[in-house]
Amino acid sequence: MTRLASTLLASSLAAGVLGAGSSSPPLPDHPSKLVFPASRWRFPTAAEASVRLPSGATAFVVPDTTLPLVDLIVVARAGAHLDPPELRGLAEMTTTLLRRGGAGARSADEFDRRADELGARLYSVPTILYGAAGLRCTSDVLEEAIELLLDMVERPRFEEDRWTSVKANAAEALSRRNLDGAMVLEREWDWLMYGESHFSTRPVRSSDLDKLTPEALREFHRRQWRPENFFIAAGGDLDIDQLRELVEPRFRAWSPSAAPPGSWPPPPPSERAEPGLFHVDAHVPQARVALGHRAPELPSAVEDRIELEVLAEILAGRGAISRLNGRLRSAKGLVYRVWSDFDPGDLWPADYQVRFDTLAANTPAAVEATLEEIWRLRAQPPHPEELAVVQRELVARRYQEFDTAEEAAGYLVEDALVSRPGRYRAEYRDLVERVTGEQVLAAARLHLRPEELVVLVSGPWDQLAGPGDGEGWTRLERIVGHRVVHLEERDPLSLEPAVLDPP
Amino acid sequence: MLPRAARFLAWAGLAALSAAGGDAFPAPAANSLGAIDFELANGMRFVVIPRRGMPTVEAGWVVSVGSADEPPGATGRSHLLEHMMFKGTTTIGSLEAERERSLLAELDGVVRELEAAPSHRGGRRAERRTAELLTARERLEDQAEALADLGAFSLEYSRQGATRINANTAEDLTLYYVTVPAERIELWFWLESDRLLDPVFRELRKEKRILAEERRSRIEATPTGAADLLTAERFWAGTPYGRSTLGEAADVERTSSEELADFFREHYGAHRLTAVLVGAVDPARVRSLAERYFSRLPRGGSRPEAIPAPAGREAETRIEIDCACPSQVRILYPTVPFGHPDQYRLQGLAGLLNGRAGRLHRNLVLQEGVAFAAFAQQRALRRAGSFQVTLELRGDRSLEALVAAWDGQLERIVNEAPAADEWMRTRRRLTTAHLDSLKDPHTLMRRLLVYAGLGDWRRLSAWPLRIAEVEPEELSAVARRYLKPEARLVSFYRETSKGPW
CB B244 within 8 A of CB B79: no
Assess if residue A263 is contained within a domain. no
Are B203 and B61 in a shared domain? yes
State which residues form the domain around B331.
Answer: 317-495
Question: Before A265, cis peptide (omega within 30)?
Answer: yes
Fill in the DSSP letter of residue A264: S
Residue A271: C-alpha distances to residues A32, A448, A482 (Å) = 51, 20, 20
Q: Same domain, yes or no, for B490 and B404?
A: yes
A-proximal residues of B, 58-87, CB under 8 Å: none
Please write down the HEC assignment for all residues of A419-439: CCCCHHHHCHHHHHHCCCHHH
Q: Is the pLDDT of residue B23 over 60?
A: no
In a shared domain, residues B351 and B287: no
Q: Based on the domain organization, do A294 and A245 belong to the same domain?
A: no
Residue B86 lies in a domain: yes
> What is the reported pLDDT for A19?
40
Which residues lie across from B46 on neighbouring strands?
A: B38, B275
Whether pLDDT at A55 is above 80:
yes
| Residues B277, B163 share a domain | yes
Alpha-carbon distance A213 to nearest alpha carbon in chain B (angstroms): 19
If asked whether residues A204 and A294 sit together in one domain, one would say: no
Q: How far is B199 from chain A (nearest CA, A)?
A: 7
In a domain, A199, yes or no: yes
User: Would residue B198 count as lying in a domain?
Assistant: yes
Chosen for mutation from B81, B82, B91, B159 (greatest number of chain A CBs closer than 10 Å) is B159
Q: Is A295 in the same domain as A230? A: no
Residue A16 lies in a domain: no
- A358 with A405, same domain? yes
The verdict on residue B74 lying in a domain is yes
Q: Are residues B267 and B206 in the same domain?
A: yes
pLDDT band for A499, please (50, 70, 90 cuts).
low
Total domains in the fold of chain B: 2
Nearest to A8 among B190, B298, B362 (CB): B298
**Same-domain check for residues B421 and B488:** yes
- Residues A243, A111 share a domain: yes
**Distance between CA atoms of residues B175 and B168, nearest Å:** 5
Q: Which of B295, B394, B431 is closest, CB to CB, to A172? A: B394
* Contacts of A333 by beta carbon, 8 Å cutoff, 6+ apart: B206, B207, B208, B209, B210, B213
Determine, yes or no, domain membership for B367: yes
B443 lies in some domain: yes
- Does some domain include residue A171? yes
Residue B189 maps to a domain: yes
Q: Which of A163, A403, A407 to mutate to test the interface with B (most CBs of B within 10 A)?
A: A403
Of residues A4, A178, A288, nearest to B265 (C-beta)? A4
B373 and B286 share a domain? Answer: no
Residues B278 and B322 in one domain: no
Per-residue confidence (pLDDT) for residue B17, from 0 to 100: 37
Domain residue limits at A215: 46-252
One domain, residues B329 and B244: no
Write out pLDDT tens, residues B318-373. Answer: 999 998 888 999 999 999 999 999 999 999 999 999 998 899 999 999 999 999 99
Listed residues B263, B294, B325: the one ending a domain: B294
- What is the band of B121 on the pLDDT scale with cuts at 50, 70, 90? low
- Full 3-state SS string of A455-488: EEEEECHHHHHCCCCCCCHHHHHHHHCCCEEECC
pLDDT at site A336: 86
| pLDDT surpasses 70 at A6 | no
Find the mean pLDDT for residues B293-299.
Answer: 96
* Last residue within a domain, chosen from B294, B328, B349: B294
CATH label of the domain that carries residue A120: 3.30.830.10
- Residue-wise pLDDT for B177-225, tens only, equals 999 999 999 999 999 999 999 999 999 998 998 898 888 888 888 888 8
Domain count, chain A: 2
Compute φ and ψ for B203, nearest 5 degrees: 60, 40
Q: How many residues does chain A have?
A: 503
Residues A152 and A213 reside in one and the same domain: yes
**Residues A361 and A437 grouped into a single domain:** yes
Residue B375 resides in a domain: yes
The helix-helix angle for A302-316 and A437-447 (nearest 10°) equals 90
| pLDDT tens track for A229-276 | 999 999 999 999 999 999 999 999 998 888 889 999 999 999 999 999
Q: What is the rounded average pLDDT of the residues A466-486?
A: 80
ipTM above 0.90, yes or no: no
* Residues A165, A222 within the same domain: yes
Q: What is the C-alpha to C-alpha distance for residues B204 and B188, in angstroms, rounded to an integer?
A: 25
Looking at the fold, whether A460 and A377 belong to one and the same domain comes out as yes
Q: How far is A397 from chain B (nearest CA, A)?
A: 7
What is the separation of C-alpha A282 from the centre of its chain, rounded to a whole number of angstroms?
Answer: 25
Distance from C-alpha of B291 to C-alpha of A142, rounded to nearest angstrom? 44
Test mutation, A3, A8, A142, chain B, max B CBs within 10 A: A8
C-alpha–C-alpha distance, residues A224 and A252, integer Å: 16
In a domain, B134, yes or no: no
Say if A271 falls within a structural domain. Answer: no
List the single range of A12-26, A433-447, B293-307 with lowest mean pLDDT: A12-26
- State whether B198 and A5 contact (CB < 8 Å): yes
- The pLDDT score that the predictor gives to residue B377 is 97
Q: Are residues A404 and A364 in the same domain?
A: yes
Q: Is A37 on the interface with B (CB under 8 A)?
A: yes
Q: Based on the domain organization, do B165 and B47 belong to the same domain?
A: yes
Flag whether pLDDT at A472 surpasses 80: no
Question: Which range (A192-196, A296-300, B278-282) has the least confidence?
Answer: A296-300
In this prediction, residue A280 carries a pLDDT of 92
Strand order in the sheet with B56-63: B36-39, B45-50, B273-279, B56-63, B174-181, B163-169
Give a yes or no: residue A493 inside a domain: no
What angle, 0 to 180 degrees and rounded to 10, lies between the N-to-C axes of helices B257-267 and B97-116? 110
Supply the CATH number for residue B236's domain.
Answer: 3.30.830.10
Q: Tell whether A96 and A167 lie within a shared domain.
A: yes
Residues of A in contact with B191 (CB under 8 A): 31
Question: How much is the average pLDDT of B494-500?
Answer: 68
Spatial neighbors of A243 by CB under 8 A, at least 6 apart, are: A51, A59, A61, A72, A232, A234
How confident is the model at residue B3, as a pLDDT?
53
Give chain A positions within 8 Å (CB) of B432. 69, 119-121, 136-138
pLDDT in tens, B367-414: 999 999 999 999 999 989 999 999 999 988 899 999 999 999 999 999
pLDDT at residue B12 tops 70: no
Residues of A in Cβ contact (< 8 Å) with B327: none
Same-domain check for residues A148 and A199: yes
Q: Is residue A57 part of a domain?
A: yes
Residues B491 and B362 in one domain: yes
Partner residues linked to A200 by β-bridges:
none
